[in-house]
A = this chain, B = another copy of it.
Amino acid sequence: MNDAEKPELPDAANAADGDTVDAHAADAAHGSGLSRRAVFGVTGAVVGAAAVAGAGGFAVGRSTAPTTTTTSYEFLGDHQSGIVTSQQDRMHFAAFDVTASSRDELIALLRRWSQAAATLMAGSELGTGAAGGSYAAPPDDTGEALDLPAAKLTITFGFGPTLFEKDGEDRFGLADKRPDQLIDLPKFAGDTLDPTFVGGDICIQACSDDPQVAVHAIRNLSRIAFGAAAIKWSQLGFGRTSSTTSDQVTPRNFMGFKDGTHNMRAEETELVNKWLWSEPEDGQAWMGGGSYLVARRIRILAEIWDRTSLGEQEALVGRTKGSGAPLSGGGEFTDPDFKREGRDGEPLIAPDSHIAIAHPDHNGGAVMLRRGYNFTDGADNLGRLDAGLFFLAYVRDPRTQFVPIQERMARDDLMTVEYLRTTGSALFAVPPGIPLGSDLGPEGAYIGQTLFA
């Protein structure tokens, strides 16, 4: 079967009898050069929802539908979407090896990706104009999200250290643009890294309330990259483990505890400005308005954790399992009182508990914007689920906001030491967004453009 010998092309004019072939009312556009949207017969009314960009790069959809899944976010903005955006429930994350051999090819890839990301985030299918709509050509869009709304999709791009220099080679003339903050992460105690899940030249984080929408985005961006970049590893996250805006309920991680209670929230402008966004004076001006993304694939030794008593679990975490309140009392959002003692004169929150080690008060005030997800990837050969936390955190400087805290946790935090094994690790420089009003055309703006200026 090939297109040349396709006399059975089923448009209405081709039917042998005179009946109306309803199915092809829309498909009659085949071969006419109309957009894929027209060819597939999926209208904007199904897919579309207006969106307004908020000042901080996050947006609230003005959907008229009763559900929130039609909400779409704006790709353009001072900051990339998917950072302070109210955290979506599901995620697909992919790290790519860049195989392009020149700077121009790399820029062309980033341009294609930017155009596609804007389209995908709007809930539209990929493909427009003269290249689309032909029966004889492969569809521009793989199609599995055709009937689905945007479902709050955000797409966020990051650059790994190896994009700037790999094996001593400055492939794209970017070596002197590498930010000091974009370090090679050290090996921490407890790291049992699987090379499969380490590093990557570029990462794409796709978050959505519908996993099919997030997977569709990664799949199509991967397809668009053909010949210029290939997926090195990817991770599906099925449930968020943090909240990025204050209206979100704190979710639970795979240890059964509420996670990220003291997460930085989008509305905390002072914290966000101090600890999240890179400023030109941080060193590399091109990163102004960007941030750094730490990705860690942390397996939870669930079978062992699950055999630990409730009292021990709470003591290790420093919070109650039910409400998530600190053991010093109050409710979930009460500040922990590390000095408060029980009748025995010992602090109610143990100094080697997780919240004591990780709390900003014990780390020079440093906070991070966490954006992690629960994952499970089948079972290992001992019949244990390979499951845990795909830790994602955005920081202004990993050298002060991640490495020292992780070093302390890996050494002193008994919960981390005894029940967690980190199997994947990567760090990415997340460039600023593309300013509102920019043109995304063939010669237009693209993600990471300041790096190449």
Give me the interface of A with B, judged by CB distance under 8 Å. Answer: 1-3, 6-10, 14-17, 19-24, 26-27, 30, 39-42, 90, 92, 94, 96-97, 134-139, 141-147, 196, 210-212, 215, 218-219, 222-223, 226, 230-236, 238-239, 249, 251-257, 302-303, 306-316, 320-323, 325-332, 334, 340-348, 350, 352, 374, 376-379, 382-385, 387, 414
Q: Closest CB of chain B to A196's CB: distance in Å?
A: 8
- 29 contacts across the A-B interface (CB closer than 8 A): A1-B316, A3-B309, A3-B311, A10-B342, A14-B348, A15-B343, A16-B345, A19-B329, A22-B330, A23-B320, A23-B329, A30-B310, A30-B311, A39-B322, A135-B309, A137-B309, A137-B310, A139-B306, A142-B306, A144-B374, A210-B239, A211-B239, A215-B374, A219-B385, A222-B383, A231-B379, A235-B378, A236-B236, A236-B377
A346 and B10 CA atoms in complex are apart in Å by 11
New A-B pairs, 11, CB < 8 Å, besides A16-B342, A143-B257: A3-B312, A10-B320, A10-B327, A90-B211, A142-B302, A143-B252, A146-B322, A222-B383, A223-B303, A236-B238, A236-B377
- Cβ contacts under 8 Å, A308 to chain B: 138
A61 and B237 CA atoms in complex are apart in Å by 28
- Cβ contacts under 8 Å, A377 to chain B: 236, 377-378
- Cβ contacts under 8 Å, A139 to chain B: 256, 306, 310, 313, 321
A3 and B41 CA atoms in complex are apart in Å by 64
Q: From DSSP, what is the main secondary structure of chain A's interface residues?
A: loop
A218 and B41 CA atoms in complex are apart in Å by 40
Inter-chain contact B325/A39, CB cutoff 8 Å: no
A233 and B380 CA atoms in complex are apart in Å by 8
A19 nearest CB neighbor, chain B only: B329
Inter-chain contact B256/A1, CB cutoff 8 Å: no
Inter-chain contact B234/A341, CB cutoff 8 Å: no
- Cβ contacts under 8 Å, A374 to chain B: 144, 212, 215
- Cβ contacts under 8 Å, A20 to chain B: 329
Inter-chain contact A39/B1, CB cutoff 8 Å: no
A236 nearest CB neighbor, chain B only: B376
Q: Closest CB of chain B to A269's CB: distance in Å?
A: 29
A1 and B352 CA atoms in complex are apart in Å by 10
Q: Closest CB of chain B to A28's CB: distance in Å?
A: 11
- Cβ contacts under 8 Å, A42 to chain B: 322
